[in-house]
Structure formats: structure tokens, C-alpha cells
Amino acid sequence: MKKGTLTVKAAALVIWALLLFAPFLFQDVRQIEVAARIAVFIVLVASYDLLIGYTGIVSFAHTMFFGVGAYGVAIALKHMGAGWGPVLLGTAGGVVVTALLAVAIGLLSLRVKAIFFAMITLAAASVVLVLASQLSGITGGEDGMTYKVPELFKPATKLFTDEAGKVVRLWGVQMNGKLAAYYFVFVIAAVLFWAMLRIVGSPLGTVLKAIRENEGRAEGIGYRVVAYRTAVFVIAAVTAALAGSAYALWLKYTGPETVLSFGIMIDILLMVVIGGMGTMWGAVIGATALVMAQYYLRDLMEVAAGATAELPLLPELLNPERWLLWLGIIFILLVYFFPAGIAGTIIDKGDRKAGA
Amino acid sequence: MSAVVARAGGVFWLPVVLAVIAFVLIGVPSSWLTLTVAGLSMGLMIFLMASGLSLVFGLMDVLNFGHSAFVSFGAFVSASTLAALSGWLTSGSLTLEVLALALALGAAVAFGLGAGWAFERVIVKPVYADHLRQILITMGALIVADEVILATWGGVPLAVPRPSFLEGAVIIGDSSIEVYRLFAVAVGVVVYLGLYLMLNRTRMGLLIRAGVENREMVEALGFRVDRLFVLVFMLGSALAGLGGAMWAGYQTLITPDLGAEILVIVFIVVIIGGLGSIQGTLLGAIIVGLMQNYVGFLAPKLSLASNMILMMAILLWRPNGLAPAAK
């Protein structure tokens, strides 16, 4: 195997390993939040990479599908009470709605130019966002909704008890429902990621890359481009919806800001570009880098703003509220100078060295 | 039959058809008149914002997702100018009021020209003919521009003062029509006529239209289409700024979210109208404006989804929009 590819895969596997042992390594509520968010976003970014990196489709509706999955579970749990039945029903409902929406949008607009598709998905996503905030009877409106999750995921639930009836501790970690919830999210993320790796490695993945490289030629060889595009759009959408369902179970809250907002779409775009388009492993690196930045860069900027409070202009620019400004600038520079992202650049460099 | 319809103007009668259907559904002439004027004024303001996007795309195949940033900046620049000149607005002198308004709109246009030039040189030029990176980069620029607006004007809604001669309403029969809306219609019509004459009566317009139709051929004849493109881009940004400034006066209270809301409507308009043609954009803008107001009156819950449904329907009927530029 080439050196660069090896480095990237090793880095991604280290991240997965860290996520696997996260509850034991970082025994802090905030760190576990970060770990769960990374796991969910890895899936979200990888599924988006199926579209943008592997097939060359630019969609702005990915958060829409993520949100539909989350809202499916949230609405079912809110209106039917806690239990596994509502979870399954909500997930299934979210997946069905997602698939229908994706097929409708795909068949309608994947025939037209890529740019039309980007615009149409953007419009569709904004309409869904507005609907979610307006239909407050069903979705809880702007405030979103909180709900009870199945018994197993409640922090008070004891997975294992000792003779005294207390929660067993393993290396100082309580075997409680929070841990179960984390591993639930982790396993779902890992399985979905593995499934996408399989898709990319399968003949289907090769056809997708062919479509990205030269649509006309792919059509000429005899592949129905529209059918393949619609299929991959639906696969990516359903994966995003499943990630959304898992995230809704983890957060116990679903609202427009957390699962539907345009900000999340921008996050996904940033993660894909930072990690590297067209590499599943890049998604792991991109999602980790950006989530970490979201949680810790703001703290860092706060410190920096405090340290430079005497100077003119600098504190205003370093204001934690302005962090998106910096991300935007970094994003533009990345697209200019490292269009392959972190993973892509490492792979290129390492492999070229190995080949020479 | 279809040939007759096409000769008589074809799809350009759609707004009229829409207005007639709405007249029947609404049933009250005075409300209908108010809504129609509101729809026309909204449509013409959207036309200002959308025309630049459409031309830029038509000429250079460049889709600028950051276009709405010029709209937001136009709105905020003109609002700030008007606020700074508020003494003139309250002075009671008509001349000073007109001057203040002209300065505010002029500031938005000037900003659009300057920012458009910089944007084209720095952001767009390196990624001609690469759609994926174009979308990503202009999106990144939009994020940065939105943040700059937030940093400069803060996240709080900004009140936009209006000159007093644009306040109030004209009463025609039973219906009252806001003066500002008539003003917006007038500005839109003047700009449209200006653009039309520029595109059809000047040498530069000829080159632009030829470039939209077949850029390689125009380049082969020795014309620098990329230089022309900078001018078109600046013009488009300036129009977006003007549209934003008009929109600010229309809303009277603006927030930094304005750009994002507009972006979606502008996209729907250019998709409906067909990219690259001024006539198509005008048609799309008026249809969307009328639709929004009629549906908002008849079925308020549907008003936002209505434009989306309209776009879907039109795309099914004509995948390239109603009146795209000949390619």
C-alpha cells in the first residue's frame, strides 16, 4: 500500500479507536458530547462525500434529510411516549419521507445542469426549514421539542449492578444509560460508515467516479447516469436521515437550529472540503477537525481576545462570535490552495514520494 | 394554435393570466388592485437583484452564490447613509430629501460596483469554468460577507428611515396603494428599460448578447470577453446593491438574515425565468412577486411553499426555464 494512503487510513483508524474508548479516556460530560457529535458528523460528512466527492453532485439539502430523520424520531417519541416502538416507527417514517423527497428532487432536477440542482436543493431545504419552524403543532416550531427516550438510555438506568444494587464502575466509569446511549450512537455511526466504505469500493462506486469524471462517456459506455445519480442521492439522503435519528436519540432534543439550520449545511461543506473530497477517510479527519474547532477554537479565541484587549481592532476580530468569519476565510483558502483537503494532500504527497 | 400563442408573446402573458385567475379567486377589485401593485413592486425589486446573477451566469457560466451578499450590503449601506442624513430627511425640504435618497441609493450602487470588481478579481477569476469550486468558493465568500455585516452592523434589526415624500398611500377607488410601491415599480421599469436599451442598442450590449450566445466565437473574433465580464459582474453587483437598498426601504426594518431570504427567492426567479436573459428574469420576478402576494392573501400558510411548487411545475414543463437565452 502507498505511504500517503496508509498515513490517512492510520489517522482515521486512530480517531475511530479514540471514539471507541472515548467514555473511558475522557470522563467529562462535555467531551462525551464532542465524541458523539464527531461520530454523527462523520456519517453525515461521509454520506455527503458520496455526492460531492464521488459523484460530483452539489446538494444543499443534506441537512434537510438529516433533519427529517431527527424529526421523525422526535415526533414519534413526543406524541407516542418513550419506547422502542416509537423509535423504530419514527426512524422508518423519517427514512420513507427522506427517500420519497430524494427521489422526487432527484428525478426532477438531476437531469438539468449541476448548478440548477444546487439551487433547487437550496430552495427545497429552506422551504423545509420554514415549514419546520411554522408548523409548531407538530414540530414544536422555533423552540423545537424535548422528549423522553427509551428506558435503556436514561442516565439513571443501571446496566450492571453489584451485590449492593449500585452501578458497577469499570475503570471509574459508571455503567449507566448514558454509556449505553453513547455506544448506541457509536455503533450506528460505525456500521453506516462501514457500509459506505463498501459502497465506494463496490462496482457501484466505480461507476459513480466514472460519472464524476466524464458524464457523457459514462452514458456512452451504457450506464444510465440519471438513474445512478438518483440512486446515490437516495442512498446518501437515507444515510443522513439515519444519522439524524441517532442524533435525536442522543440529544433528547430536536429543533430547527440543531438539525435543520443552514449553519449545519455549511459545517458539512467545511468538513468535506477540509477533510478532502472523494476520500471516505478524509470525512473522518474533516469531521473531527471541525467539531474540535467548534468546541475548542472559541475558547482559544476568547483567550486570544482577552490577551490582545489593549490593541486596536484585533480583539474585535478575535471575538469568539466571529469564529465563522475565520472558518469562511480558511475555507476559501483551502479551496484555492488545497482543493484535495487534508487527506487528499497527504495521499498525493506520500504516494508521489513512494512512487518516485 | 401554439404558434399563434407564441407570436402573441407566449409565456410573457403568464403574469396576466395569473392576475386574471387571482381576480376571479379574490373577487374584491380593490384588494386585487392593492395586491397586484404590491406584487409588481416586489417583482421589480427582485428583478433588480436577480438580473445581475442571470447575466453573469449567461455570459461566463459563473454562478455566484455570494450574490445575495451584495443585496445585504446594499441594504445596509443605504440604510446607514439615510440614517446619517436623517437631518435632511426631517428638514422638510423636498430637495434635501430627494438628495438624501439619491445619495443613499447611489452609495449602494457605488458599493456594489467597487465590491463587485474586487469580488470578481479575487474570488471568481481563479475558478472560471470549474463549477464545483465556484459554488464552494462563492459560498465561502457569502459566509465571510455575512459575518462582516454582523461585525459591522451587529445582529440587531436596523430601522430604515424613509423620505417623507415616499410615505403614505394613494387612494384609488376603495384601494389604497403605498407610494413607496409605486416608486419601486418606477425604479424597476427604468432600470429594465435602461438594461434593454444597453443590451439592444449599444455595441457593448451587442458583445454581451453575442458572448452569452457563444463565448468562444466572440473570443475568436478578437474580443476580450473576460474584460467585458468584469464590467457585467460589476453592473450585476451594483444592481443587486440597488435592489437591496430599495428592499430595505420597503421593509423599513432590516436584519442580517435578509440576504439568505432573498437568495432563495432570487434563485427561484432565475430558474423560472431561464438563466442568461433579462426578459426571462423580469418575467420570473413578476410571476414570483404576484404569486407571493396573491397566495399570501388567499392562503397565508401556503405562501412560502407556493413559489417552490411553482418552480417545480415550471421545471417539469420547461426544464430550462420559461424564456432562457438562446444558446
Residue A211 with chain B: CB contacts under 8 Å? none
pLDDT of residue A320: 67
pLDDT at B4: 65
pLDDT value at position B169? 77
> Could you report the per-residue pLDDT of A74-104, keeping only the tens digit for each?
888 888 877 788 888 888 888 999 999 898 8
Total domain count for chain A? 1
Mean pLDDT value of segment A323-352: 79
Nearest CA in chain B to A127: B305
Q: In this model, does residue B216 exceed pLDDT 50?
A: yes
d(CA A115, CA B259): 19
pLDDT in tens, B158-192: 888 887 777 777 777 777 788 888 889 999 999 99
Separation CA B293–CA B305 (nearest Å):
13
Mean pLDDT over each residue of chain A, to the nearest integer: 81
A262, B316: Cβ pair inside 8 Å? no
A286 pLDDT tier (thresholds 50, 70, 90): confident
Residue A218 phi/psi, 5-degree rounding, is -60, -40
Closest-CA residue to A50 (of A195, A266, A219, A224): A195
Residue A350 pLDDT > 50: yes
Q: Residue A93 is part of which domain span?
A: 3-355
Residue keyed to cell 396576466: B16
A132: confidence class by pLDDT, cuts 50, 70, 90: confident
**Mean predicted lDDT score pLDDT of chain B:** 83
- A333 Cβ contact list (under 8 Å, min separation 6): none
Please determine, for residue A229, whether its predicted confidence score (pLDDT) is greater than 90: no
pLDDT at position A356 is 42
> Could you read off the pLDDT of A234-245 as tens digits, one per residue?
999 999 999 999
Contact A325 B147 (CB under 8 A): yes
B1, pLDDT greater than 60: no
> In this predicted model, what pLDDT tens digit does every residue of A158-185 receive, in sequence order?
666 666 666 666 666 666 777 888 888 8
pLDDT of residue A110: 63
If DSSP codes are grouped into helix, strand and coil, which group holds residue A167?
strand
The CATH number of whichever domain residue A32 belongs to comes to: 1.10.3470
pTM of the model: 0.81
Contacts 24+ apart (CB under 8 A), A98-104: A98/A65, A98/A68, A98/A69, A98/A237, A98/A238, A98/A240, A98/A241, A99/A234, A99/A237, A99/A238, A101/A64, A101/A65, A101/A68, A101/A237, A102/A65, A102/A230, A102/A233, A102/A234, A102/A236, A102/A237, A102/A238, A103/A230, A103/A234
Three-state secondary structure call for residue A296: helix
**Distance from chain centroid for Cα B326:** 21
Higher pLDDT among residues B238 and B82, named by residue = B238
Which whole number is the average pLDDT over A288-316? 74
pLDDT for residue A112 is more than 80: no
Q: Where are the domains of chain B?
A: 2-317
Whole-number CA gyration radius for chain A: 21
| Radius of gyration of chain B measured on its C-alpha atoms | 20
Asked if residue B49 lies in contact with residue B266, where contact means CB atoms within 8 angstroms, the answer is: yes
Nearest C-alpha of chain B: how many angstroms from A162? 54
Q: Which of B60, B121, B143, B317 to mutate to test the interface with A (most CBs of A within 10 A)?
A: B143
Nine-digit cell at A129? 426549514
The three three-digit cell numbers of residue B171, written as one number: 387612494
Within the 151-210 window of chain B, which residues sit less than 8 Å (CB to CB) from chain A? 151
Q: Which residues, in sequence order, are CB contacts of B151 under 8 Å at separation 6+?
A: A316, A319, A322, A325
pLDDT of A108 strictly over 50? yes
SS3 of chain B: the string is: CHHHHHHCCHHHHHHHHHHHHHHHHHCCHHHHHHHHHHHHHHHHHHHHHHHHHHHHHHHHCCCCCCHHHHHHHHHHHHHHHHHHCHHHHCCCCHHHHHHHHHHHHHHHHHHHHHHHHHHHHHHHHHHCCCHHHHHHHHHHHHHHHHHHHHHHHCCCCEECCCCHHHCCEEEECCEEEEHHHHHHHHHHHHHHHHHHHHHHHCHHHHHHHHHHHCHHHHHHCCCCHHHHHHHHHHHHHHHHHHHHHHHHHHHCEECCCHHHHHHHHHHHHHHHHCCCCHHHHHHHHHHHHHHHHHHHHHCHHHHHHHHHHHHHHHHHHCCCCCCCCCC
Which fold, B2-317? ABC transporter involved in vitamin B12 uptake, BtuC (1.10.3470)
**Each residue of B134-166: pLDDT tens digit?**
888 888 888 888 888 888 887 788 888 887 777
Residue A158 carries which DSSP code? B
How much is the average pLDDT of B60-78? 86
What is d(CA A49, CA A197) in angstroms, rounded to the nearest whole number?
11
- Condensed to tens digits (0 to 9), the pLDDT of residues A186-203 reads 999 999 999 998 988 899
Query: Is the Cβ of B313 closer than 8 Å to some Cβ of chain A?
Result: no
Assign A240 to helix, strand or coil: helix
Nearby residues of A30 by Cβ (< 8 Å), 6 or more positions away? A295
- Under 8 Å CB pairs connecting chains A and B tally to 91
Higher pLDDT among residues A70 and A316, named by residue: A70
Which triple of cell numbers denotes residue B149?
A: 455585516
**A55, A126, A226: which to substitute to probe chain B, counting the most B Cβ within 10 Å?**
A126
Mutation site, B135, B265, B266, B272, interface A, largest A CB count within 10 A: B135
- Chain A: residue nearest B152 by CA? A316
pLDDT at A1 over 70: no
pLDDT at B113 exceeding the cut of 60: yes
CA distances from B33 to A117, B199, B288 (A): 36, 32, 17
Per the DSSP assignment, residues forming a β-bridge with A167 are A161
Distance CA A105, CA B113 (A): 36
| ipTM, interface predicted TM-score of the complex | 0.77
What percent of chain B has pLDDT above 90?
Answer: 15
Contacts of B311 in chain A (CB under 8 A): 120, 123
**Sign of dihedral through CA atoms B269, A125, A260, B289?**
positive
**Nearest chain B residue (CA) to A58:** B132
Span B32-40, average pLDDT: 88
Is the pLDDT score of A272 beyond 50? Answer: yes
The answer to whether residue B318 scores a pLDDT higher than 60 is yes
pLDDT computed for residue A317 by the predictor:
66
Q: Does A316 touch chain B (CB under 8 A)?
A: yes
Under a CB-based contact definition with an 8 Å cutoff, are residues A285 and A293 in contact? no
Instruction: Please tell me the predicted confidence (pLDDT) of residue B286.
Output: 92
Q: Is A269 on the interface with B (CB under 8 A)?
A: yes
The conformation of residue A161, written as its DSSP 8-state character, comes to B
